[in-house]
Amino acid sequence: MNDPNGPMIYKGIYHLFYQYNPQGPVPGHKVWAHSTSTDLVNWTPHVPAIVPSQEYDLNGCWSGSVTILPGYKPAILYTGAGPQKKQAQNLAAPKNLSDPYLIEWVKSPRNPLMASTAANGINASSFRDPTTAWVGPDGRWRVIIGSKRDRMGMAILYRSRDFVRWTKARRPLHSADDTGMWECPDLFPVSARFPVGLDSSVNGPNVKHVLKVSLDDTKHEYYTVGTYDSRADTYVPDEGSVDSDSGLRYDYGKFYGSKTFFDSENNRRILWGWINESSTVDDDIKKGWSGVMAIPRTLWLDKSGKQLVQWPILEIEKLRTNQVDLPNKLIEAGTVLEVPGITAAQADVEVSFEVKELEKAEALEPAGTNPQMLCSQKGASAKGGVGPFGLLVMASKGLEEYTAVFFRIFKGQNKYVVLMCSDQSRSSLKNCNDKTTYGAFLDVDPLHEKLSLRTLIDHSIVESFGGGGKSCITARVYPVLAVRDGTHLHVFNNGAQSVGVPKLSAWSMKKARIN
């Protein structure tokens, strides 16, 4: 599987469609696979909702989104890959609205609805992934589609009165130089006052917008927080909120092709993202699958208004069992402490660290502005001043294998800088996997706030949330010793300064029902 497609809640049932190759765990012709759930945790698979059948989608039914139209009618807009991978946007609607699972979908006889022509100048091989549509003040629908012109990435805007006849706007909604193809764009409103979700067409005072793009060149996603003027149809990122490289990411590890939807029954916006493998194709074929969805996350605008906060959906907590609490502890420099009594290969861990003394913090070199590079240079085994401290997850008994998720505090120009890392370099005795280390800065003041970390561990998947979800890092690991009951969990401190652990709770996680 790859990208999540068309997530929605409809009559109390969550739907997730996703890019899927029925022929095997390798890239290939894509269909829209379909699953439903009532709790976002346990899933029931259905037959694929859309499969290639027409000339315009013969080479694959690629990514897209659902919009709920007036009359409570869901509609899919998706990209069809036609001859020579020529891309165009198509509509599909449920055959039978009284079927609660919406199993059958019918393609519109008017397809394709948005296509490249000699007149509109659209690059036919770079025109894909329509968003959920929204309504502007003039009552017309709007949708954006990822594209590029030379190296300029862009979100092409279309408008429609009836959802069938679409007219391309003269200007893209947004574009940025030298970013390459924008895949899977997503534009949505966020409340500047409350940590709740908003329906896609909401705008006005105290509403900001987020534009996210998935960059094909780097396979990283970036988002900006900004203002969407629905009369002029312009999106302007806030000052300091930048497209591309030094910008903000939902996740600083593996996370791509993501998409949000508004959960109208619970007033929250939920983010779905795809985590691909870090293993060889041979290993994927051996195990018979590749690619997973990350645990869905609720997301909202941080109090600062400058970034998003993400947190695993609350429902995931119903898988928790056998809670283990570590009593308030001081972890001396150089300590590794096991957290006993949980199934460490499938666990949920919440821990907070308290640093009273920052004297020993290492100085941050002016060149040290790339967090991933800093984390790679100073992995968990590199002794530091304040930190590295954090968790060793998916660890083997003798620590021959472990994945380290940790913090390190630096003295910056005029403030302390917190670095969050996920270090996979020792994750497996096997050498053929991608063990890249990931890193992010965390916007927390370590002088006045505790540093919290939550990590969800599921065999090969490690999803970490720092500072209550201000920075997130997802990693894939393939240990050979630290498997099932041979897996352990530790807290560690490899700095020169002791750190307090006022709270650590860990849970074994029950199995969910998945496809």
Which residues have a catalytic role annotated? 3
Based on CB atoms, which residue is closest to ligand DQQ, 32 or 406? 32
Q: Nearest approach, Cβ of 79 to ligand DQQ (angstroms)?
A: 5
Based on CB atoms, which residue is closest to ligand DQQ, 129 or 315? 129
Cβ(308)–Cβ(299) below 8 Å: yes
Q: Catalogue the long-range contacts made by 240-248 (C-beta closer than 8 Å, 24 or more residues apart).
A: 240/306, 241/306, 243/153, 243/174, 243/176, 243/179, 243/213, 244/176, 244/178, 244/179, 244/215, 246/369, 247/222, 247/223, 248/222, 248/223, 248/224, 248/307, 248/308
Token duo for residue 261: 């939807």
Based on CB atoms, which residue is closest to ligand DQQ, 184 or 491? 184
Based on CB atoms, which residue is closest to ligand DQQ, 4 or 479? 4
Restricted to residues 193-252, the positions that interact with ligand DQQ (CB under 6 A) are 214
Say if strands 182-191 and 174-176 run parallel, antiparallel, or are unpaired: unpaired
Would you say how long the chain is, in residues?
515
Is the peptide bond preceding residue 48 cis, with omega within 30 degrees of 0?
no
Q: Nearest approach, Cβ of 61 to ligand DQQ (angstroms)?
A: 9
Report how far residue 22's alpha carbon sits from residue 288's, in angstroms, rounded to the nearest whole number. Answer: 11
- By CB neighbour count within 10 A (0-12 exposed, 13-18 middle, 19+ buried), where does 250 fall? buried
**Does residue 257 touch ligand DQQ according to CB under 6 A?**
yes
Report how far residue 163's alpha carbon sits from residue 149's, in angstroms, rounded to the nearest whole number. Answer: 26
Give kind and range of the element (H or E) at residue 29.
none
Exposure b/e, 270-291, CB count within 10 A at least 16 = b: bbbbbbbbbbeeebbeeeeebb
- Per-residue mark of binding to ligand DQQ, 69-108 (x: CB under 6 A): ----------x-----------------------------
Based on CB atoms, which residue is closest to ligand DQQ, 57 or 348? 57
Give kind and range of the element (H or E) at residue 372.
helix 371-377
3-class DSSP assignment, residue 282: helix
Q: Nearest approach, Cβ of 4 to ligand DQQ (angstroms)?
A: 10
Q: Of 425, 401, 395, 404, which is closest to residue 489 (Cα–Cα)?
A: 395
Q: Which residue is nearest to ligand DQQ (CB)?
A: 62
Restricted to residues 139-198, the positions that interact with ligand DQQ (CB under 6 A) are 183-184
Q: Nearest approach, Cβ of 55 to ligand DQQ (angstroms)?
A: 18
Report how far residue 79's alpha carbon sits from residue 60's, in angstroms, rounded to the nearest whole number. Answer: 8
Based on CB atoms, which residue is closest to ligand DQQ, 281 or 447? 281
Token duo for residue 469: 């979800």
Based on CB atoms, which residue is closest to ligand DQQ, 257 or 479? 257
Token duo for residue 22: 């029925």
Expressed in percent and rounded to 5, the helix, strand and coil fractions of the chain are 5, 50, 45
Restricted to residues 19-38, the positions that interact with ligand DQQ (CB under 6 A) are 19, 30
Based on CB atoms, which residue is closest to ligand DQQ, 179 or 214? 214
Q: Nearest approach, Cβ of 468 to ligand DQQ (angstroms)?
A: 29
**Does residue 452 touch ligand DQQ according to CB under 6 A?**
no
Which residues contact residue 105 at a Cβ distance below 8 angstroms, ignoring those fewer than 6 apart?
A: 32, 49, 50, 76, 92, 93, 94, 95
**Does residue 2 touch ligand DQQ according to CB under 6 A?**
yes
Q: Nearest approach, Cβ of 129 to ligand DQQ (angstroms)?
A: 5
Contact residue for ligand DQQ among 15, 34, 128, 212 (CB under 6 A): 128
Contact residue for ligand DQQ among 10, 14, 32, 62 (CB under 6 A): 62
Based on CB atoms, which residue is closest to ligand DQQ, 147 or 403? 147
Give DSSP secondary structure letters for 35-55: EEESSSSS-EEEEEEE---SG
**Does residue 59 touch ligand DQQ according to CB under 6 A?**
no
SS (HEC) of 217-272: CCCEEEEEEEEEECCCCEEEECCCCCCCCCCECCCCCCCEEEEEEEECCCCEEEEE
Distance of alpha carbon 168 from the chain centroid: 29
Count, residues near ligand DQQ per rule CB under 6 A: 14
**Does residue 299 touch ligand DQQ according to CB under 6 A?**
no
Q: Where does this chain bind ligand DQQ (CB under 6 A)?
A: 2-3, 19, 30, 62-63, 79, 128-129, 183-184, 214, 256-257
